[in-house]
Amino acid sequence: MTGYRRRKGFTVACILPLETCTMKRFLHIPRWLKNKYLLTGVVFGVWLLFFDDRDIITTHFKHRRELRQLEESRDYYLQQIELTNKELEQLKSDPALLEKYAREHYRMKRDNEDLFIVE
């Protein structure tokens, strides 16, 4: 059963039977799906969502990991600031401790002393 099929002002010739004719199947696709701009936009959107170097899924997990690392770093530095403030308060209140700290960390000495560094 070969023949011609008329559809919206143009005629399509099928050599194969009408049931297996690809042109017949193409004619049943809605018009908005045949729009090349829509198809290009959909392909572009899928590419950006899944296949690009900066796709949404990979970028989301990368940003989550980076945020977690930054929060851990922030917690570490807040703890270090707290320890340093405690140490500073101790140094302000005890002159003997201040002298010991200066000798150990900055290798300071009195005028009548000699400093020998043994490592």
Q: Where are the domains of the chain?
A: 54-107
CA 101 to chain CA centroid, Å, is 45
Question: What is the model's pTM?
Answer: 0.53
Most confident option among 48-52, 75-79, 93-97? 75-79
What does the radius of gyration of the chain's CA atoms come to, in whole angstroms? 39
Which pLDDT score is estimated for 90? 94
Which whole-number Å values give the CA distances from 76 to 20, 60, 68, 69, in the listed order? 70, 25, 12, 11
